[in-house]
Structure 1
């Protein structure tokens, strides 16, 4: 059987799977507990990080365009040697 990810809840040490019919009759499992957080994400910080990534991607596009322009000038000047 391939890996299977199911949603489950834990209540006083008891694990309840949301879709028990998807579980095999026998097998082994690893449990990852994801703690629910009460804090809200800092959207200003998230957007600043995304903006930085976008600026880097834009910079890469500018570099590619400059390189393509340079290559085209060389082709026009020297031909396809």
Structure 2
């Protein structure tokens, strides 16, 4: 996946997340499935942003950005903010 594809995926995920959050503000997330989906979206976004940062760092230091890999949920979610 190249940077453009990752950014496209981020855009799609953000759009879906926004629709769920809008629905939540209007009616509440009544379905466990919707809450679970929102959590999965947040994790997927974190992984995409992490992958994009890895690729850009590799490019900056003259390495192959295609060597960047999606990190595990545990690793990405364990970062300090």
Assess same fold via TM > 0.5.
Answer: no
Shorter-chain TM-score tier = 0.3 to 0.5
Structure ranking higher in helix proportion: 2
Q: TM-score, normalised by structure 2?
A: 0.38
Q: Which one has the largest radius of gyration? A: 1
Structure number with higher relative contact order (C-alpha < 8 Å, ≥ 6 residues apart): 2
Q: TM-score, normalised by structure 1?
A: 0.38
